Structure 1
Amino acid sequence: MDFRHLETFLAVVEQRTFAAAAEEINTVQSTVSANIKALEREMRAALFDRSARTAVLTPAGRALVPRAKALVDQLALTRKELSDIGDSIGGRLRVGTIGSTEPIELPKVLKQFGDANPHVILEVLSDSVGTAGLVERLRRSEIDIAFIANRLPDRPGPVHDWLVRTLLAEGDLVFIASPGHPLVERTDLQLADLASQIWIESPSGQTNRTITDEAFRAAGLSRTVNLEVAEPAKVPNYVAADIGIAAVPDFIAHDRTDVRVLRVEGVKLKWSIAIARHSERSSTLIEAFWNQFEERARNRQHGLEQ
């Protein structure tokens, strides 16, 4: 089987037209069509309804999608594992990270690792969807290590069985408002008092947004988000401008003099940061980097127990 045919098939499924798929995989539409026809001959089944304007899957095509994804993912793993065989402590390590990692001092630790391993190239990457996007990129072997929220995206089934993670830090999500906001002086605030306010939030899909949304749903409350800001560290800037209130990790609000933490009774929300990797991926470089943070996690736990 030619895996290029499967990759082309998945590109068409994702992009929904042959032309868009060709652009996605950097080829021409005739090549996409030829690859799909070759795959259909090999599968002995039509995979797309040619009478439709977009790429509509036939029943056979729908059945092939999960199998094709599994085969392509496994090929990516195999390619990376083979390239890692025999590696010394050198090479390129692709590190994915969520936007706010101040509690684990990531830049400082990366410098220490780089100083100790001068032949290593560290590539730090982010994802607009935060933890959910980084987990997916780990699954596809597009990154080697990720710093994510320890709370994983909600998905049906055991789709995260392959993911190994270690908690590095956690703390409180706090509600903040501008100094002149009418709720600041209240000492008897309930979650219901916040529901009707103008809200500034992370985009849907980011973990802290999910946690806050769940808290309101659990209390039987609804709220309207008027402004979405992708980078949590920048949220206080908009709160300070008196646009609305927000929920942010405590370390983001800690040193800000232009916002105030609201005292809300009966609500305890948590942020978390974990290091994560694919259970089937290993190399000398990955192990060395992982062990450095495992040691930090052990030291943190030891400090908590004392």
Structure 2
Amino acid sequence: MELRQLEYFVAVVEEASFTRAAERVHVAQPGISAQIRRLERELGHDLLDRSGRTVTLTDVGAAVLPLARAALASVESARRTVEELAGLVRGVVRVGMVVSCGIVDLPELLSSFHSSHPDVEITLVEANSDALISSLLDGQLDFALVGYAGSEPDGVSVRVLADEPLVAAVAPEDPWYGRESVSLDELLSRGLICLPPGTGLRGALDAACGGRQPRIAFEASAPSMVITLAQCGLGPAILALSMAEGLHAVRIDPSPSSRLAFAWRASGPHSPAARALIRLAENHVTANL
């Protein structure tokens, strides 16, 4: 019994076709057919029913299939372990980031990672923090730059990059221009400009309101648009302090805060490529503290 025979068997089952399986494993169809026949002769039973329009499993084939997949998975795991020990990190690492985050140069971090591990394919998506955390927990992402309020989200590990107070950022013509602080009651009396639910900033605002509903007059998905709307005199923008450049930042009393952090699944398993990126990110945080 050879591993390639198991690979061909699994490919035929998953594709339900010898032709498509041959295309998938880049082997001529007669070669796949011959190897599976050899496997069946060795086992003494047919694994595939070839009598219909599509290829299906026999009862014996159905019993062998999970064992074949487990054998192939074990071999792949062994190969990854050897590559990692040899320093040959390969594979795919899937990264997410919150929209328009200027405080962290994630592209620079990914560029540094690519220079060290050019064989690793990197994918990057933008979304709000709730969606990114959900994707981390589902295994769709390996690593993400997220914002959140309060304690760290369940099921993920984080390295905090920034813990900033939220401010009400206003243009010169706003009644609050020049003030140092406003109370929560005053904040709730105004129509606010803010990011949508699911973002770290909105979560921090909602948490600070303690169950009371803020009045959101304008909602924008990117901080740059929130800033632009405030600069047009349309009301106070709820922003992290570092984002309020070009506006007057008014402290909110009591002061809510929002955290920005690198995040990854707490329990794994992580691919060698994902672990390498996490190590680089942690070193980046340590070097910039």
Any idea what the Cα deviations from partners look like across 1:58-93, whole Å, max 9, x if unmatched? xxxxxxxxxxxxxxxxxxxxx8x9579515322321
Taking the TM superposition and a 5 Å limit, the aligned residue runs for 1:1-306 are: 86=80, 88-127=88-127, 130-151=128-149, 160-161=154-155, 163-187=156-180, 189-217=182-210, 222-254=213-245, 256=246, 259-264=247-252, 266-278=253-265, 279-300=267-288, 303=289
Whole-angstrom CA distance in 2 between matches of 1:289 and 1:296:
10
Tell me: CA distance 1:85–1:248, structure 2 relative to 1, closer, same or farther (3 Å).
farther
Tell me: CA distance 1:82–1:141, structure 2 relative to 1, closer, same or farther (3 Å).
farther
8 Å contact 1:165–1:275 — kept in the other structure?
Answer: yes
Tell me: CA distance 1:285–1:171, structure 2 relative to 1, closer, same or farther (3 Å).
same
Residue 275 of structure 1: CA displacement?
1.6
Tell me: CA distance 1:83–1:104, structure 2 relative to 1, closer, same or farther (3 Å).
farther
Any idea what the Cα deviations from partners look like across 1:104-154, whole Å, max 9, x if unmatched? 221221112222222222211122xx1211111112211111111254799
Please, which runs of 5 or more residues in structure 1 have no aligned partner? 1-78
8 Å contact 1:145–1:286 — kept in the other structure?
Answer: yes
8 Å contact 2:164–2:257 — kept in the other structure?
Answer: yes
Any idea what the Cα deviations from partners look like across 1:23-70, whole Å, max 9, x if unmatched? xxxxxxxxxxxxxxxxxxxxxxxxxxxxxxxxxxxxxxxxxxxxxxxx
- Alpha-carbon RMSD across the aligned residues, in angstroms, is 2.9
8 Å contact 2:92–2:121 — kept in the other structure?
Answer: yes
Q: TM-score, normalised by structure 1?
A: 0.61
User: Corresponding residue for 1:66?
Assistant: none
User: AA paired with 2:131?
Assistant: G
Any idea what the Cα deviations from partners look like across 1:213-233, whole Å, max 9, x if unmatched? 222237xx5431121111123
How many pairs align?
211
Tell me: CA distance 1:284–1:199, structure 2 relative to 1, closer, same or farther (3 Å).
same
Tell me: CA distance 1:166–1:110, structure 2 relative to 1, closer, same or farther (3 Å).
same
User: AA paired with 1:282?
Assistant: H
Please, which runs of 5 or more residues in structure 2 have no aligned partner? 1-72
Any idea what the Cα deviations from partners look like across 1:261-291, whole Å, max 9, x if unmatched? 1244x33222212222222222221111100
8 Å contact 2:181–2:250 — kept in the other structure?
Answer: no
Tell me: CA distance 1:142–1:182, structure 2 relative to 1, closer, same or farther (3 Å).
same
Whole-angstrom CA distance in 1 between matches of 2:207 and 2:157:
25
User: Corresponding residue for 2:60?
Assistant: none
Report the secondary structure of 1:275's partner residue: strand
User: Corresponding residue for 1:39?
Assistant: none
Any idea what the Cα deviations from partners look like across 1:172-214, whole Å, max 9, x if unmatched? 2221111111111334632222222121111123221121122
Percent identity over paired residues:
22
User: AA paired with 2:94?
Assistant: R
8 Å contact 1:132–1:153 — kept in the other structure?
Answer: no
Report the secondary structure of 1:102's partner residue: coil
Q: TM-score, normalised by structure 2?
A: 0.64
Report the secondary structure of 1:104's partner residue: coil
Larger mean Cα displacement after TM superposition, 164-173 or 135-144: 164-173
Q: Which runs of 4+ in 1 moved over 6 A?
A: 152-155
User: Corresponding residue for 1:17?
Assistant: none
